[in-house]
């Protein structure tokens, strides 16, 4: 059998960056939906895709696929705990390994794999999401889940728990089958019925992937959306079509970094330097283009020219929704608004703290100012002032507390010296001085 694949990844119409990643390698295909804010989600999803490169697509080795996912999980956790800006990052992963007539799927999170056979579309993965679990328990209908405020809470992801048990599925496939792998940016925006209609039109894999993304964008594009379509064809069909030969040297990983409308080759360039270096070390060849078709030179050329891979947008993770019982959960959607809310809250807290410190400082000063006194001459008479003998910008910090009837000029040199010193006194000391003057003591 021969495989033809198409991919489109778009940041959508709401997010500011794309944290989805995909991997296309002949026989091995994956979609990962990162979460974590800033660039953390993108790092996590890319790490997950790169982690799959250890799997040999030529052999249907479920254990190798499972091990690769578990190792990627460990690597993501280690990196997120060692780099503060990546703390809490995570990603979904749905990977399909196609070898001969065997389709192996590794799955964690709420990205999905579907199989289209003879016009019938079947979801083959279970969503590891709060609403998914509620639906399986019969506590939510499909319609309720689609609108549920907790629909973006996922219950399993790479990056959250050192112990990870990915779902592993094995199916037998046949020529004519069509595999779809996608992030929830598609399934949150487009119903299964519409997906089936688009996939059933018979367009080539790349056209179908593009059309699915277009529908998601038309319906709002609220999330990053990544679609991989893989067509399983009979070998002789490929030969008849002159589709070229299988090549295991073509690997496509993307998109990466911030939003861009650049074509596919630029999408490849957006791979981080580290990612490219790791890929090179693994012997992979980065191929520009949105299609990692196992055949079809024409299709690949089209991608290189026009490219439908778009680098995307941002999302992050609020933790405002309680996780389902017994499992850590992570919310993926609405990251940007939550970041804004968090920033606003931080500013508010900082403003309140500054205000409290100011009030405390002013209060302390006012209290101290009310407890000190000094002597000064007021209209030729000796007076006791309350407060500090200072002024600032025309504001005096003291006022006459008691005015005596004693002329300054009548004081002895010693007494004048005491008045002139403006030494700070207690109220008792000041009054005793004035009393001594008036009584002649
Ligand atoms: Mg998503």
At 152 the pLDDT is 80
**Strand partners of residue 115:** 122, 179
Q: What 8-state DSSP symbol labels residue 53?
A: G
Confidence of residue 338 (pLDDT cuts 50, 70, 90): low
Confidence of residue 318 (pLDDT cuts 50, 70, 90): very low
- In sequence order, which residues have a C-beta less than 8 Å from that of residue 43 and are 6 or more positions away? 34, 36, 79, 86, 89, 272
State the distance from the centre of ligand 1 to the C-alpha of 370, rounded, in angstroms.
62
pLDDT per residue over 119-143, tens digit each? 999 999 999 999 998 999 999 888 8
At 321 the pLDDT is 33
How many CB atoms are closer than 10 A to CB 226?
A: 35
State the distance from the centre of ligand 1 to the C-alpha of 62, rounded, in angstroms.
26
State the distance from the centre of ligand 1 to the C-alpha of 256, rounded, in angstroms.
15
- Answer yes or no: are the C-beta atoms of 44 and 91 closer than 8 Å: yes
Q: How far apart are alpha carbons 321 and 330 in whole angstroms?
A: 8
Q: How far apart are alpha carbons 335 and 241 in whole angstroms?
A: 45
At 102 the pLDDT is 94
At 249 the pLDDT is 53
Q: How far apart are alpha carbons 65 and 73 in whole angstroms?
A: 13
State the distance from the centre of ligand 1 to the C-alpha of 379, rounded, in angstroms.
80
| Average of per-residue pLDDT across 379-404 | 90
At 271 the pLDDT is 45
Of the candidates 123, 96, 110, the residue with the CA atom closest to the CA atom of residue 230: 96
Of the given ranges (81-85, 103-107, 294-298), which has the lowest mean pLDDT?
Answer: 294-298
At 256 the pLDDT is 53
State the distance from the centre of ligand 1 to the C-alpha of 120, rounded, in angstroms.
25
Q: Is the pLDDT at 438 greater than 80, yes or no?
A: no
* Bigger pLDDT: 150 vs 332: 150
* Bigger pLDDT: 206 vs 243: 206
**Strand partners of residue 253:** 23
pLDDT more than 70, % of the chain: 76
- Answer yes or no: are the C-beta atoms of 205 and 291 closer than 8 Å: yes
At 440 the pLDDT is 52
pLDDT per residue over 187-215, tens digit each? 999 999 999 999 999 899 999 999 999 99
Of the candidates 218, 226, 129, 131, the residue with the CA atom closest to the CA atom of residue 181: 226
State the distance from the centre of ligand 1 to the C-alpha of 5, rounded, in angstroms.
21
Q: Is the pLDDT at 433 greater than 50, yes or no?
A: yes
Q: How far apart are alpha carbons 207 and 226 in whole angstroms?
A: 14
- Tell me if the bond preceding 255 is cis, omega within 30° of 0: yes
- Answer yes or no: are the C-beta atoms of 270 and 311 closer than 8 Å: yes
Greatest Cα pair distance in the chain: 127
At 235 the pLDDT is 80
Q: Which two tokens stand for residue 42?
A: 């993108």
| Average of per-residue pLDDT across 173-180 | 96
Of the candidates 245, 30, 71, the residue with the CA atom closest to the CA atom of residue 159: 71
Question: Please, what sign has the CA dihedral across residues 261, 268, 37, 331?
Answer: positive
State the distance from the centre of ligand 1 to the C-alpha of 209, rounded, in angstroms.
16
Q: What 8-state DSSP symbol labels residue 160?
A: S
pLDDT averaged over every residue in the chain: 81
């Amino acid at each position: 059998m021969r495989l033809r694949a198409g991919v489109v990844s778009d940041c959508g119409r709401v997010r500011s960056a794309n944290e989805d990643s995909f991997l296309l390698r002949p026989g091995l295909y994956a979609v990962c939906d990162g979460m974590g804010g800033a660039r953390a989600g993108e790092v996590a999803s890319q790490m997950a895709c790169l982690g799959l490169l250890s799997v040999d697509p030529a052999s249907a080795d479920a254990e190798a696929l499972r091990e690769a996912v578990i190792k990627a999980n460990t690597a993501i956790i280690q990196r997120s705990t060692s780099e503060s800006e990546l703390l809490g990052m995570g990603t979904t992963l749905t990977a399909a390994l196609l070898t001969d007539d065997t389709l192996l799927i590794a799955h964690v999170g709420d990205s999905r794999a579907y199989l289209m056979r003879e016009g019938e579309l079947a979801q083959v993965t279970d969503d590891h999401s709060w609403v998914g679990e509620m639906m399986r328990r019969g506590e939510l209908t499909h319609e309720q889940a689609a609108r549920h405020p907790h629909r973006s809470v996922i219950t399993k992801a790479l990056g959250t728990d050192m112990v990870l048990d990915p779902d592993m599925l094995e199916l037998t496939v046949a020529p004519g089958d069509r595999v779809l792998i996608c992030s929830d940016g598609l399934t949150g925006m487009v119903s299964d019925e519409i997906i089936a209609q688009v996939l059933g039109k018979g367009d080539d894999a790349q056209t179908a992937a593009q059309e699915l993304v277009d529908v998601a964008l038309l319906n709002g594009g609220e999330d990053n959306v990544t679609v991989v379509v893989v067509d399983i064809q009979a070998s002789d069909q490929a030969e008849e079509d002159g589709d070229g030969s299988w090549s295991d040297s073509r690997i496509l990983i993307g998109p990466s970094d911030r939003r861009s409308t650049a074509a596919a080759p630029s999408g490849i360039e957006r791979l981080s330097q580290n990612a490219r270096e790791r890929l090179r070390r693994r012997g992979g060849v980065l191929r520009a283009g949105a299609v990692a078709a196992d055949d079809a030179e024409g299709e690949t050329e089209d991608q290189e020219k026009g490219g439908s891979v778009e680098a995307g947008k941002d999302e992050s993770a609020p933790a405002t929704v309680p996780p389902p019982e017994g499992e850590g959960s992570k919310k993926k959607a609405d990251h940007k608004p939550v970041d804004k809310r968090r920033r606003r809250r931080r500013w508010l807290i900082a403003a309140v703290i500054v205000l409290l410190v100011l009030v405390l400082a002013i209060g302390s000063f006012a209290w101290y100012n009310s407890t000190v006194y000094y002597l000064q001459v007021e209209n030729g008479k000796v007076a006791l002032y309350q407060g500090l003998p200072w002024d600032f910008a025309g504001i005096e910090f003291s006022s006459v507390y008691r005015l005596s009837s004693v002329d300054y000029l009548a004081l002895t040199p010693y007494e004048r010296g005491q008045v002139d010193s403006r030494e700070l006194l207690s109220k008792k000391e000041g009054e005793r001085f004035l009393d001594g003057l008036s009584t002649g003591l």
